[in-house]
Structure 1
Amino acid sequence: MRILGPYNFDSVLDRLSLDPLHVIDRNKRSVKVPLIIKDQPLVAEVTAIGTTDEPEFRVDEENNEIIEKLTHIFQWKQSLTEVDDHFQMTDLQQLFKEHRGTPLVLDFDPYNCLLKSIIHQQLNLSFAHTLTERFVKTFGFEVGGVYFYPQPETVANLNIVDLRELQFSGRKAEYVIGIAQAIVDGKLDLQSLYDKSDEEVMNELIKLRGVGPWTVQNLLIFGLGRPNLFPAADIGLQNALKKLYELDRKPTLDEIDVYKKDWEPYLSFASLYLWRSIEEVG
């Protein structure tokens, strides 16, 4: 399938490669995507066969539901020209030139995104990915060499000791199990979040134990694809701003509020490109 450029799939693979659970082939320019379709797991391989300016993709498993999911995950309908034009008169102009055509690609499932955000809380990125990988490979399942996150029913039946053995803190273990139990009990319906405003999602999820504003903002960006979120408390973003503005310290939240005014209504893209500016990719 063809989409409007610019769209830099090699940049997508750069970001996806940060997570050891992703199955990527750099030479083929492909990634294998675990999907749950009608309660059945399947793996769809997405391969780039075009360029940044004339992007085109081949999908090995094609039906309408699969294409719809992949279109949402890879944000194939989002005009990056419109986004890029917006930032040409801002302080992020150079970043948008350096990383031109980098799309806001989502986690493969909002449930995965929520669990990953909780696991990643207050951890450095390297260990956060290691801990998530242990969790998924211990309690999840594999299809065609691709790992799926353990489903809510599985996680809800775990106990804290199970996760402590992987080096989870006791509190984080409680949070992850509690989220799964809320889903199983019908108290949390992640699919319903698509139809709610950012504020409504925040108000609903913040009531869950272990879920703070940073976690909800990450879910809104990388789980639901909302375009106008800036997690100002994120250490990575603070470090990126420190680098951008050549500060001798991290910026204050008040300073960040001033910086970000010109970036609306695309704050999520500002966040993405700032993260890109400090990421070490292979």
Structure 2
Amino acid sequence: MIHTFNSSNYKAICEELAQKDAQLKHIIQTYGYPPMWSRPNTFESLVHIILEQQVSLASALSALNKLRDYVQQITPARVLLLTDEEFRACYCSRQKTAYIKYLAETIVSGQIDLDAFEALPDNEIRVSLTSLKGIGNWTVDVYLMFVLQRADLFPVGDLAAVNALKRVKGLPAQASRDELVNVAAQWSPFRTVATMMLWHYYLSAPRKA
């Protein structure tokens, strides 16, 4: 069964999580409800997530905007017309240029159908996308959470979510991946919404000196 969330039930899910978890309740009481981050199910959204790999959100957005200036509309066909030099002028590394081109080719060829993903379970989407060069589990997690609004994911490869979880739960810096996954498991079937609360905390709470 596919579990999703939307703008009409988002706050109710936040409240349900807050009733079960004192630390999540404290986040809402202190910083308010988290934004419901979402993106359309488009090639551009996946390109944006690829650009966000291992760089700041601001840097990725700058590259996306530059790319949009070049092609007007970020579609597979238009992106494939760009030269490597034009990609470089859009702040795209050689590696990310290759990833974006490969993704565009798989969509043009019909190997990947983003619209069809909406009816597929998370694990099938993950298998399909991670078979592509340059797309790993973090990229798939963000796609599932932001684009398809799948409700029950914790992106254990996301540093902001992991660091927020450690701070909120008072976990040691060296806490293992398994420990983090076990803590997040208590929020199932709404781990995605809990993660959005963690991101909200990460962006809102003052950093320790």
Fold-level match, TM-score > 0.5?
yes
Under TM normalisation by the shorter chain, which class is it?
Answer: 0.7 to 0.9
SS of residue matched to 1:219? helix
- Indicate the residue corresponding to 1:40 in structure 2: none
Which structure shows the bigger proportion of residues in strand conformation?
1
Whichever residue aligns with residue 114 of structure 1, its letter is L
Q: RMSD in angstroms over aligned alpha carbons?
A: 2.4
**Post-superposition shift, 1:209?**
0.9
**Post-superposition shift, 1:151?**
1.5
Normalised TM-score (structure 2): 0.85
Distance in structure 2 (CA, Å) of the matches to 1:220 and 1:276: 18
Q: Assess if the C-alpha contact under 8 Å between 1:75 and 1:103 holds in 2.
A: no
Distance in structure 1 (CA, Å) of the matches to 2:147 and 2:121: 14
Which structure shows the bigger proportion of residues in helix conformation?
2
SS of residue matched to 2:118? helix
- Indicate the residue corresponding to 1:132 in structure 2: 64
Whichever residue aligns with residue 108 of structure 1, its letter is P
Between stretches 130-139 and 218-227, larger displacement belongs to 130-139
1:263-282 paired onto structure 2 within 5 Å: 263-279=187-203
**Post-superposition shift, 1:124?**
2.1
Normalised TM-score (structure 1): 0.65
Distance in structure 2 (CA, Å) of the matches to 1:127 and 1:105: 18
Q: Assess if the C-alpha contact under 8 Å between 2:17 and 2:24 holds in 1.
A: no
**Post-superposition shift, 1:134?**
1.8
Number of residue pairs aligned between Structure 1 and Structure 2: 201
1:1-282 paired onto structure 2 within 5 Å: 75-90=6-21, 91-102=23-34, 104-139=36-71, 141=72, 149-247=73-171, 249=173, 251-279=175-203
Gaps of 5+ in 1: 1-71, 142-148
Highest relative contact order (Cα 8 Å, sep 6+), 1 or 2? Answer: 2
Gaps of 5+ in 2: none
Distance in structure 2 (CA, Å) of the matches to 1:237 and 1:122: 14
Q: Assess if the C-alpha contact under 8 Å between 2:118 and 2:148 holds in 1.
A: yes
